[in-house]
Amino acid sequence: MAVIWVIAEPNGDGTLARISAEAATLARGLAEASGGSATGLAVAADAKGIAAELAAYLPKVIAVSDAGASGHSWAAVAAERAASVIGEGSDAVVLIGAGPDGRDVAGALSALTGLGVLANATEVSWSDDGPTAETAAFGGKLLTTSQFVGGSGIVTVRPNTTEAATATTAGAVEEIKADAEPVLPRVRIVEQVAEAGAAAPIEEARVIVSGGRGVGGPEGFALVEEIASVLGGAVGATRAAVDSGWIPYAQQIGQTGKIVKPELYLALGISGAIQHKVGMQTAGTIVAVNRDPDAPIAEFADLLVVGDLFEVGPALVTALRARAG
């Protein structure tokens, strides 16, 4: 019987990341479908707190406290402790987020355990051969359905794959002290720096309002932000806007930025270059405001409003506010 593991990823403040709550909800579903069990795994300097949070979603969570997890880069510590709990060459299925931390853990865990990796799943189901993951390749131009040879392995899961839902009863937390000598080098954190303007991760947003070169400058992004706030969404950008220093790199969408799949993607002053398109083309609804009716985005948007974003944008804010009453 398969054990579906979920590795708890911490937010900056040590609380449970939303992606892990989603992965845990997914794991519960897979355990039910497979007749197996779903177990959480939390690694932190003091793992009780985050383990208890994860236990809201799973029948059982193992909390591995390792003093070295504080003051050191988390992923290597977590991967190593997870490898010893899960075991080498085991028949486990491991779910973890597809963000930077999750990828780092998945890569190291694969190397330590010999488990394969299916990356960036947008959907995971169960079949007789184990988990089946849907992923997109070549920037969304191709959708693939993949499995593990032998049925066990590590799946990195994209945000918004599952809606997080707690279990009817909270699970049990089992505590383990990690005292085995670490084999992976631990990388010291000299300093943690918070930067102004750091926004919520755009990968998780339901609505993204993005600005490109057409926004013209940081002042123009004030309009983008206003529209985003009226829609309850996050702000994204093209590389042209990021390279111009108008908005942080964390907000960049595309080939070398984030890949997002919001319900609504509103593109302002964005031409829709292929490197930007690969980051957002799977959005539910794509709306573009562009002066140029022949911009490439005209080929894949649901709605193109031909016009000046500095005229259409304020009109949109007024219309949305009027509608909200």
Ligand X SMILES: Cc1cc2nc3c(=O)[nH]c(=O)nc-3n(C[C@H](O)[C@H](O)[C@H](O)COP(=O)(O)OP(=O)(O)OC[C@H]3O[C@@H](n4cnc5c(N)ncnc54)[C@H](O)[C@@H]3O)c2cc1C
Considering only residues 260 through 279, tell me which ones interact with ligand X, judged by CB under 6 A: 269-271, 273, 275-276, 279
Least Å from the CB of residue 21 to ligand X: 28
3-state secondary structure of 282: coil
Least Å from the CB of residue 231 to another protein: 7
Check if the beta carbon of residue 50 is closer than 8 Å to that of residue 42. yes
Q: Which of 37, 84, 166, 275 binds another protein (CB under 8 A)?
A: 275
Q: Which of 237, 259, 260, 268 binds another protein (CB under 8 A)?
A: 259
Between CA 225 and CA 228 the distance in angstroms is 5
Q: Give residues with Cβ within 8 angstroms of 84, minimum separation 6.
A: 178, 180
The span of 24-32, 74-82, 201-209, 255-263 binding ligand X (CB under 6 A) equals 255-263
Between CA 206 and CA 106 the distance in angstroms is 26
Q: Which of 24, 234, 278, 280 binds another protein (CB under 8 A)?
A: 278
By CB under 8 A, residue 250 contacts another protein = yes
By CB under 8 A, residue 299 contacts another protein = yes
Between CA 89 and CA 104 the distance in angstroms is 19
By CB under 8 A, residue 84 contacts another protein = no
Looking only at residues 102 through 141 of this chain, which bind another protein when binding is defined by CB under 8 A?
103-108, 110-112, 114-120, 132, 136-141
By CB under 6 A, residue 212 contacts ligand X = yes
Check if the beta carbon of residue 63 is closer than 8 Å to that of residue 131. no
Q: Provide the angle, in degrees to the nearest 10, between the axes of the packed helices 309-324 and 218-231.
A: 20
Instruction: Write the Ramachandran bin of 190: left for phi over 0, alpha for psi from -120 to 50, otherwise beta.
Output: alpha
- Positions in the binding site for ligand X (CB under 6 A): 212-214, 238-241, 252-257, 269-271, 273, 275-276, 279, 289-292, 295, 308-310
